[in-house]
Structure 1
Amino acid sequence: MPVASLPPHRRVPKTPARVRGARRALARLTALCAAVIVGAGMLAVPAQAEPTVEEIEAQIEKQWRQLEPTIEQYNKVRSELRVNRKKSDDLAKKIEPLQLESELALNRIGELASRYYIIGPSYELGAVLVNSRPGQLGEQLTLLDRVATEQRRQIEDVLAVQARFNTQKEKLDTLVTTQVKQEKDLANRRKKIEGEIKTLRASMPKTTVQTANCPTINGVVNAAARTAIRTACAQIGKPYVFGSTGPNSFDCSGLTQYAYRAAGISLTHFTGAQWNEGRAIPRNEARPGDLVFFRSDLSHVGIYLGNDKMVHAARAGVPVNVSSINTMPVAGFRRPG
């Protein structure tokens, strides 16, 4: 059966071959552009590179500069607490005899009060009047007055002793209250520091740190400085542990304290105190053995060796070593003794 042909207005015109080819080229071009865009987007997000050892060390050093002042503040509080505890012990020793003296005086007054309650003061006065002889009455009345004056003096002594006792007791109570608060603050601060140091250590790369021995010291060095230098240099390679004063580990002010203790010079385990425990020395006059302090907050200290070198307990993860003083801003020099 023959197929009926469509009317002229319903016929679909044929697409010319040239147009069809252009469309296919455009589709391929669009796909290619999309691939380029996607590829460019992928190239714009580079792979995350692992940090180098130097970058990790720089980050640790930055964190350490923030942490070290906290550690030295911890040392300050602990040093003050040690002093306050000694004061508390001294006050307790003073209070014991005061308390005993107060009790004895009160017993004397108690005995006197009991006697007058039983026989009354008129008994003594009557005895003086009845037994007095001419010319002796005045002396006996004076004696009686002296007895009364002595009684008043005893009462005043008791009150004075009690006042001294109460004053000392108030000081002790205030001191104990302060110490309890300091201990709580210290415990919280120590916990915070330990957590920060633990974080630092966890991020440290496993590397071997080479430490140089102390160089030969030339120039004017007194006996105390010589002993301190020799002692500090003997600690090279030992670990940094905050709050430690040796002999197996040190922090910065703990090492200087340990070294100068061997030389017979006492230093407080706190950089701020050590700054005030020595004589100020200009940098151009610094000699081996002087203490060299760093940063405006005096948060680090080492023992100067001359030629811009020092021996110091650097930081967590780095043992006691010899290094340049020019790696940190120098605050000044102090000469102990």
Structure 2
Amino acid sequence: MAAHRKPGRRSLGGHTVRTAATIAFAGAAGATGFDGTGHAEPNPTPAQVKVKVDKLYQEAEAATEKYNGAQEKATAAEQRLTALRDEAARKTARLNTARESLGSMAAAEYRSGGLDPAMQLALSDDPDEYLDGAAFAERAGDRQSAAVSRVRKQLREIEQLRGAARVELTSLKTRQAELQRHRKTITGKLDAARRLLSQLTAQERARLEADTGGTAGTRASRASTGARDGLPAPGSATTTAPHSRAAAAVSYAYSKLGSPYVWGATGPNAFDCSGLVLAAYRSAGVSLPRTTYAQIDAGRRVSRSELLPGDLVFFYSGITHVGLYIGDGKMIHAPNPSAPVRVAPLDEMPYAGATRVV
């Protein structure tokens, strides 16, 4: 009789485990650089971080200006919507009064019994008096007809106002959605910049901040020392500015040195770039548009060689940054979240043009 054997189980310590171990070891070697060709990305140098952060800040500022523009349009749409609703409410109140008047006329006719005019003439004790009364009633009927026409006109006007309000409401919702998109872009860029900066040591971050304008304390000190640091003295703008309003705007900007950069802010304690310029001229009694795109058209264009204190100076091809010229090739501006309001050379960024507020 032939012997029957069950197939033997393969040992866990055999070829299968050896193969698995070999694969795992090879993977570990590749991940750790065991074979001398590691794949882990090295940490960026401070210089590389600065380049990336500067780019993120520039992109965030471009989105900030779009946000500011959308905010301005949303505010205008909200104001128009409120005005339309208020006007519709006033017209509705007048309409209700007119309706009540018509209701009173209708009730009076009902109470009079509505007798046929020929019968009323036949039964009248004084035909002449009746005829005079009939003429009055006819005139009253004309007035009633005119009242009805006015009510119809008011109804049409109210419907037109409601239609316009619906259009403005749609516009407002569109602007609000646009604001949300720009806000998301801005916060995303700024968060990415913060993550990059967090990879640096405290000493590296301090050096990077020094390269972009120093600490808030240093900048505040410059506001008081003025020309001792090689900067134009705050008072000197009054003699070289094209007019007193420009001089006042420059003085305001000097007073805000060291103020934090906050996107969307227009003062009095924090600013973004266009917000600082807007606030500076607002302090001088001049109303400027909210965004860099509009501010560049808010006055007369001037060449770089013609610059005077108080001129608005713009940067980047997309006109996404603005500062206030103070003389000697320098400006005061709100750079980005890493550097508060400060004095900086015009050559710090790609120059795009200038405008003189008149």
Match of 2:344 in 1: 323
Instruction: Sort the Cα spacing of 1:174 and 1:220 in 2 relative to 1 into closer, same or farther, 3 A.
Output: closer
Letter in structure 2 aligned against 1:103: N
Between 270-279 and 44-53, the greater mean CA deviation after superposition: 44-53
- Asked if the contact 1:310–1:324 (Cα under 8 Å) also holds between the matched residues in 2, the reply is yes
2:227 corresponds to 1:215: no
CA–CA separation in structure 2 for the residues paired with 1:157 and 1:234:
60
From 74, 85, 89, give the equivalent of 1:81. Answer: 74
RMSD of aligned alpha carbons: 2.8
Runs of 4+ in 1 over 6 A off after TM superposition: 44-48
Cα displacement (A) at 1:244: 1.4
In structure 2, what is the Cα distance between the partners aligned to 1:124 and 1:273?
A: 72
Task: Name the structure 1 match of 2:312.
Answer: 291
Letter in 2 for 1:57: K
User: Deviation at 1:276?
Assistant: 3.1
**Which 5+ residue runs of structure 1 have no aligned equivalent?**
1-40
* Number of the residue aligned with 1:20: none
The secondary structure found in structure 1 opposite 2:335 is strand
Q: Percent identity?
A: 28
* Paired AA for residue 98 in structure 2: A
User: Within 2, Cα distance between the matches of 1:125 and 1:158?
Assistant: 32
Higher CA-based Rg? 1
**Aligned equivalent of 1:229:** 250
1:240 matched residue in structure 2: 261
> How far off its partner does 1:296 sit?
3.2
Q: What is the match of residue 34 of structure 1?
A: none
State which drifts further: 90-99 or 147-156.
90-99
Alignment length, in residue pairs?
294
Residue 112 of structure 1 and its aligned partner are, at CA, apart by 2.2
Structure 1 pair 45–222 and aligned structure 2 pair: CA distance change class (3 A): same
Bigger shift: residues 282-291 or 305-314: 282-291
CA deviation after TM superposition for structure 1 residue 303, in Å: 0.5
Q: TM-score, normalised by structure 1?
A: 0.77
Residue aligning to 2:128: 133
| SS at 1:305 equivalent | strand
Q: Which moved more, 1:66-75 or 1:183-192?
A: 183-192
Greater CA drift, 279-288 or 210-219: 210-219
In the alignment, structure 1 residue 114 sits paired with structure 2 residue 107: yes
Normalised to the residue count of structure 2, the TM-score between the two structures is 0.73
* Structure 1 CA distance for aligned equivalents of residues 43 and 128 of structure 2: 115
Decide whether aligned partners of structure 1 residues 47 and 70 sit closer, same or farther in structure 2, where only a CA change above 3 A counts. closer
